[in-house]
Amino acid sequence: MKINLRTVLFLAGVLLIVSNPCSLAHTDVTAEQARDLVDSTNDLIVVDVREPYEYRDARGHIPGALNYPWSSGVLRARYEELPTDGPVLVVCRSGGRSNAAASFLDSNGFSTVYDMLGGMSAWQWETTPCKYSGGSGTADDPYQIATAGGLIALGESPEDYDKHFILTADIDLDPDLPGRKVFDRAVIAPDTDWLTWDFQGSPFTGVFDGNGHTISRLSIKGRTGHLGLFGQSADGANILNLRMEAVDVSGNWLVGGLVGQNYGSITTCCSNGTINGYLYSGGGDYTGGLVGFNNGSITTSYSNCTVNGMVNGKPAGGSMWANREVGGLVGENWGHITTSYSTATVSGGKYVGTLVGYNGGFTGGITMSYSNGTVSGSSKCGGLVGGNAGSISTSYSTGTVTGYTDVGGLVGSNSGDITKSCSTGSVSGDSQAGGLVGENWGGNVNSSLWDMETSDQTTSYGGTGKTTAEMQTTSTFLDAGWDFVDETANGTEDIWWILEGQDYPRLWWETQN
């Protein structure tokens, strides 16, 4: 057989391909194409192979990127942490190291690898750094967030905290997934000075519309406070239509599944997971399933969390100064809560409630809300509210309450106003345990009742005790002036309804949701 030069070159090419089948597998992309990938590919992993000082000190990095330096060998040592069957975009400063890194990933079986030509220099000069998946940040055209990277980008952009945002997809923040992490501060609007109690960061003042989507598996292990998805939301901020699922947040004070400290408006939001206020001795103040401290408004929201206010992981016992204001929905409330509920399991020291730990004076108000969980603590423990110095009206509790002193089926300690509310859960305490209210310091209790049989309590500092049969009879509550559906003598708001002889009064809005 005659072999010419063309044949030799062809055979050499085949030999090269066979000996290194992945050598040409990765795809070169421009900075603009890389931006399109980041915008449109939810499972894309961005690997930045610059050294840490470059990653931190350069004019920016792609939000959510993993920093696995090439020159110092980090990528070669840790590449097995990355999934081989998903898309990977490799970037560096100008393109040289990313090409070598992309070829390395090719040779180790990664199926889809992109190398950004020109590196971050090209990204910065040829494109506007990609933060969100679309929109312009206005009310009519909100910034769209579809990925964990976009959510983290919002947190890293205080200049955008006054803008409008909308989620366009569910987001999983599982720290075990590539590009995710256990946070040590709030994701958005974090406190920037851990040495002081007061908030020193930039609060969120814009609108965040969850659009019915879920943010799941947020994990925060913080040393101080203002912890949650949002550290602080300011007056005028609006957070709505968002579900927080499988959250795991621990800190020292002002800890919540959604917001650490809220001065804005929260509407139709919920939290499910574990909230801990006990990482360090003296911790646990203002710990709530949804919000740590509320001085804004919370409407049509709920919590199904396990909320712990403890010292170093141990029950607070008789401590009167640590682990205070622990609530299933809100740790301490000086704002307004309406048409909301909690099915949380709550434990703490002082001021512990299934809905709210402490409801503050003059301004703190709770209306048309309920709780059905369990609460245990040292003192001032209530089925709905641990300590009340504000107002509670048209609300109820059905859960179990256990404490040492000042323990009540609805409120542990009351110095405020309680109107047209009731409790039916079990109550047990060593001192000052009441079916409705454990202790009363000059407060007012009007048109409110409790079940003496199910609570195992025949006395209360306020309210009227009834049998179970009486508590399941409409006339009992009509005589107390409660406004029920299909009656007008006590009003036309249709606040309550009852399944006569079978159940206790329920809020009418429960049937509408």
**For each of the chain's 513 residues, which pLDDT tens digit applies?**
444 444 333 334 433 333 344 345 789 998 888 888 887 777 889 998 988 777 655 456 677 788 888 988 988 998 888 888 889 999 988 778 989 999 999 899 898 999 988 888 777 544 444 578 889 999 999 999 988 888 988 998 999 999 999 999 999 998 877 656 788 899 999 998 776 778 888 999 999 999 999 999 999 998 788 999 999 999 999 999 999 999 999 988 899 999 999 999 999 999 999 999 865 544 558 999 999 999 999 999 999 999 988 644 333 333 333 478 999 999 999 999 999 999 999 999 899 999 999 999 778 899 999 999 999 999 999 999 999 999 999 999 999 999 999 999 999 999 999 999 999 999 999 989 999 999 999 999 999 999 999 999 999 999 999 999 999 999 999 999 999 999 999 999 999 999 999 999 999 999 886
In 3D, which of 353, 369, 247, 213 has the Cα closest to residue 297?
369
Q: What CATH number corresponds to the domain at position 117?
A: 3.40.250.10
Q: Is 90 inside any structural domain?
A: yes
- Residue 126 backbone phi and psi in degrees, to 5: -95, -15
* Mutual angle of helices 119-126 and 31-40, in 10-degree steps: 80
Q: Which residues pair with 350 in a beta bridge?
A: 324, 379
- Give the residue carrying structure tokens 């703490």: 348
Residue 72 sits in the same domain as residue 192: no
- What value does the CA radius of gyration of the chain take, rounded to a whole number of Å? 28
Integer Cα distance of 340 and 265 in angstroms = 13
Which pLDDT score, from 0 to 100, does residue 318 have? 36
Type of residue numbered 276: N
Residue 212 sits in the same domain as residue 121: no
In 3D, which of 246, 307, 243, 301 has the Cα closest to residue 275?
307
Q: Is 285 inside any structural domain?
A: yes
Residue 496 sits in the same domain as residue 467: no
Residue 90 sits in the same domain as residue 111: yes
In 3D, which of 313, 316, 346, 348 has the Cα closest to residue 329?
346
Helix (H, G, I), strand (E, B) or coil at 352: strand
Contact between residue 224 and residue 196 where contact means Cβ atoms under 8 Å apart:
no
Q: Is 8 inside any structural domain?
A: no
> What is the total count of domains within the chain?
3
In 3D, which of 277, 285, 376 has the Cα closest to residue 325?
285
Residue 256 sits in the same domain as residue 202: yes
Residue 370 sits in the same domain as residue 423: yes
Q: What CATH number corresponds to the domain at position 385?
A: 2.160.20
Residue 38 sits in the same domain as residue 87: yes
Chain-centroid distance, C-alpha 321: 26
Residue 114 sits in the same domain as residue 189: no
Contact between residue 466 and residue 451 where contact means Cβ atoms under 8 Å apart:
yes
Query: What are the C-alpha distances in Å from 342 to residues 302, 360, 383, 399?
Result: 5, 19, 10, 10
Domain boundary, last residue among 95, 126, 157: 126
Burial of 193 (0-12, 13-18, 19+ CB in 10 A): exposed
Residue 104 sits in the same domain as residue 232: no
Q: Is 203 inside any structural domain?
A: yes
- DSSP assignment, residue 41? -
Residue 278 sits in the same domain as residue 319: yes
Which pLDDT score, from 0 to 100, does residue 177 have? 72
Integer Cα distance of 391 and 198 in angstroms = 27
Q: Is 194 inside any structural domain?
A: yes
Q: Which residues pair with 375 in a beta bridge?
A: 346, 401
Which pLDDT score, from 0 to 100, does residue 33 have? 87
Q: How far apart are the first and last CA of the chain?
A: 83
- DSSP assignment, residue 81? G
Q: Is 209 inside any structural domain?
A: yes
In 3D, which of 322, 259, 334, 317 has the Cα closest to residue 290?
259
Q: Is 2 inside any structural domain?
A: no
Active-site positions?
92
Residue 461 sits in the same domain as residue 478: no
Integer Cα distance of 292 and 263 in angstroms = 11
Domain that holds residue 504: 472-513
Domain boundary, last residue among 126, 153, 182: 126
pTM of the model: 0.78
Q: Is 114 inside any structural domain?
A: yes
Residue 267 sits in the same domain as residue 332: yes
Which pLDDT score, from 0 to 100, does residue 60 have? 60
